[in-house]
Structure 1
């Protein structure tokens, strides 16, 4: 066989050639790979579609053309967003010969935010937001008021046309172009978009949470003073309506976010800077030519220190939230640290020989809102969670340094003493950190002398790979049974005595002094707080195994509070679980062939359902049905089968889909403010089932 023949045979055998390649054009690529554009196809991705449409209205408000936005969550599952801005253009675009609205709704990377003429600052920069939502909608209707008429156009999965009736299932006929539906006053302008998500794309049960919408719209109203946003949710039994308008801007937002008592009034730092950016620009021949463009960047920061320990930092670019920060946040952190260290040296609160305070010390008790506005910001990805414009770090740092230094050098009337209290708080945080570090170092030395780096009560496993699991077990009685029930190859056990410290109300030093908290952090081996390193964790999973009673729930809540405050990356990575032990065991009398003698139920509702089912099938069981009061009542086989064996057990993954909501719940249930917790308990008292209380 010749070489050429052999090569051809090999190609044919693989069956892969140029004819197997496919090119996705237009919105087809969006429908094929929606996750690239909206992150996911679950509730989070659906919410992202709504934000894309809302952000277009917000851009009109930023440009000064819109003063009112209306958001409606319809009962039929559709979403409607309207504004009183200029209205999407409906005239014909010369190159494509399409109406402007059809162009932006059907073509990726088409919009008015590229040249810097229509919008000096906007949240949209890729020109894909509206077209992506259109591609992922079973139906999308647009109505535009401008030029004395209301113009309308509809789309089905990205294709323009007309529907014969209401709703996404109505008969559809493809047709390009817009049509006039009525006349309006000449000065009436605005855009209304209503879309029905395509459930062929989104997961079953995907929905947009009402609280999420209200929080987002409230946040937007804070960021654009004078903007009115109406929200109407028609999906429930009762219609919910809210209106947001805040003239105080981010100063008011900062006060709203802060939950602790203020040490100093909200400080406002504002300024601007210039930078040159090289961007590709289309020339007359249609070629991309690298061109230097002058940019302006506006900085607006509000911050305050409070008496608490938590840090709340919100950052925005053109009112688009950047939850993972970016260059603007790095510039803020750098300037804040520099100014505070300079002031501490100037006031002699830090003496010669004292080490500088670090970022964690400065951020303790700080609430800050950091906003920048600039044309065509560079984000990392379409979801816009991280700002990548490098010049933002320098300009934000310069503005914050100049303005904050001026405030400390010439305090506003009545603020001299509060500013001094801020400096004393930062020094106090540094002393606590140093004391905690000294204690950890002493503990390490002590452990080294004892030739044991881990607590003696830890029952470790043999492997240290991703499948390793650490069970945090309530009580020594359950530990004894769990030792026999576990697989020692990959399951480790750490017992805790009773209820650990409530770390939501304690300082870092108090937390580290607590033997149980210190043991958990030491065993996991990844540090705590901002220095937590997920890659250093000794176990792939952390499983909280507590009794299925009220005390067990309280212990789980305390453990999760510890995880949330000091080991949050474990929660964010989905590596924290709660074991779900059974509540009841039914022992069948003369079970049928192939049927287990014992049936486990994990709730009272499941027990009732099972008993009704057995009664209907004329199956008898031993009375009374056993109810487990604790893990210690099970023998090793039962515990392994129901709670520890990966083949049979049930685990509940603990996730943080929305860290802000999680923080509110933890603060309500475990925080130092008693009044909100009392109101919560009082309001929910009527829902309590007295028969379920253990007595």
Structure 2
């Protein structure tokens, strides 16, 4: 219930809108921080269903807002892949808010309901909608008795996550407005729009802004196998000597890596070594280039969408699905091999950098061994002037 939990309320509502986008029903998400300390999220998706839910006898909308794990995805007709650590969904937002107001536009009608402290206030109100809009709007104000530390949203924290979501979901437009005039510059609303047609390719370009790219075009993989969607974007840089790889699973940043990152690393090492031998950059007698050699200077993003994600570790920031390793390996391998066959000059640039890294690592290893061997030899016999002391005179 600290600041982290506070911002998670926003993400939970935004994730629902992103799910609609992933399912192909929504392309604009509007997020506003309002003067009274509430947050309002509007999308142009299908709208939360409002018909009577068979198990609860209440409207589906009320059910989603009041029952834990009721969300999502309403039987088989739901969304394929869901972002966020879902299931808990908006019911948690409702439980932790002073009030929630939901407006749904669908089928030519406007549906509205208000909740306070998690409980519905009156019935679902339905009125005709002359504009025939569609979408969902959720406005909520965090409960100060629960979030005792602070209920004030931090613009920067939310902005960086919303921007990240826009990068990860190409073509989705996210508008973010801060209407808390006492906090904004010049006391005017502050608005930013995040929209990236190129998705994670633009993310890699942004990460490499201040670096010198080894090859201008970002290598891009987008494919699907066994229900797992894989996107990867790769660009090597001349002036970087380590790798910078970001992993995401269902839009969640996997800080501790996981099987998708392992799959990427494995396939890079194998593919580049194969190409090195094909292009006579390595002779039969030469050692293989190591993964570290090949990844030197690489900026990469790998984003997977998995139907049933398993997150591991204390903070759930490591992807555990074993099948993802092989899928990433296969799909990235196919695209990368094909790309480098058609762009041999790019392959040569990457390999030359990797071979330089290999040679530098070898030279460093030899130098280390030499120093160690030397110090071992020096310490095994005492210097000449200080001969070993051995005397038979017990008086000494």
TM-score bracket for this pair, using the shorter chain length = 0.7 to 0.9
| 1:88 to 1:405, Cα distance in 2 relative to 1, 3 A | same
- Is 1:369 aligned to residue 369 of structure 2? no
SS in 2 for 1:92: coil
| 1:194 to 1:341, Cα distance in 2 relative to 1, 3 A | same
Number of matched residues?
Answer: 371
| 1:384 to 1:89, Cα distance in 2 relative to 1, 3 A | farther
- Is 1:417 aligned to residue 367 of structure 2? no
**1:218 — aligned with what?**
163
SS in 1 for 2:275: helix
Structure 1 distance, partners of 2:84, 2:76, is 12
Structure 2 distance, partners of 1:333, 1:443, is 32
Of 319, 326, 339 in structure 2, the residue corresponding to residue 407 of structure 1 is 339
Of 62, 70, 76 in structure 2, the residue corresponding to residue 102 of structure 1 is 62
| 1:300 to 1:237, Cα distance in 2 relative to 1, 3 A | closer
Which structure would you say has the larger RCO, counting Cα contacts within 8 Å and 6 or more residues apart?
A: 2
Structure 1 distance, partners of 2:369, 2:112, is 70
- Is 1:396 aligned to residue 356 of structure 2? no
Structure 1 distance, partners of 2:76, 2:259, is 22
* Structure 1 residues 243-254: aligned runs within 5 Å: 243-254=193-204
SS in 1 for 2:281: coil
- Is 1:202 aligned to residue 140 of structure 2? no
**2:232 — aligned with what?**
301
Of 300, 319, 335 in structure 2, the residue corresponding to residue 387 of structure 1 is 319
Structure 2 distance, partners of 1:120, 1:230, is 25
Structure 1 distance, partners of 2:153, 2:291, is 36
Shift of 1:448: 5.5
Check conservation: 2:95, 2:117, Cα contact below 8 A: yes
* Structure 1 residues 623-634: aligned runs within 5 Å: none
Check conservation: 1:126, 1:382, Cα contact below 8 A: no
Check conservation: 1:139, 1:156, Cα contact below 8 A: yes
| Range that drifts further, 332-341 or 213-222 | 213-222
* Structure 1 residues 454-603: aligned runs within 5 Å: none
TM-score (norm 2): 0.85
**1:72 — aligned with what?**
32
Check conservation: 1:114, 1:125, Cα contact below 8 A: no
Check conservation: 2:230, 2:328, Cα contact below 8 A: yes
* Structure 1 residues 27-106: aligned runs within 5 Å: 41-106=1-66
- Is 1:132 aligned to residue 92 of structure 2? yes
Shift of 1:137: 1.8
Shift of 1:450: 7.2
* Structure 1 residues 679-690: aligned runs within 5 Å: none
Which string of whole-angstrom CA distances, capped at 9 and with x for unpartnered residues, describes residues 382-440 of structure 1?
975222222111111111111111122232xxxx3232111111111222223333344
**2:384 — aligned with what?**
none
**1:668 — aligned with what?**
none
| 1:63 to 1:128, Cα distance in 2 relative to 1, 3 A | same
- Is 1:358 aligned to residue 299 of structure 2? no
Check conservation: 2:144, 2:150, Cα contact below 8 A: no
Check conservation: 1:328, 1:396, Cα contact below 8 A: yes
Check conservation: 1:334, 1:397, Cα contact below 8 A: yes
SS in 2 for 1:355: coil
Which string of whole-angstrom CA distances, capped at 9 and with x for unpartnered residues, describes residues 468-512 of structure 1?
xxxxxxxxxxxxxxxxxxxxxxxxxxxxxxxxxxxxxxxxxxxxx
* Structure 1 residues 597-676: aligned runs within 5 Å: none
| 1:405 to 1:199, Cα distance in 2 relative to 1, 3 A | same
Structure 1 distance, partners of 2:57, 2:177, is 37
Check conservation: 1:113, 1:376, Cα contact below 8 A: no
Instruction: Answer with 1 or 2: which has the greater Rg.
Output: 1
TM-score (norm 1): 0.50
| 1:331 to 1:183, Cα distance in 2 relative to 1, 3 A | same
**1:318 — aligned with what?**
250
| Range that drifts further, 198-207 or 144-153 | 198-207
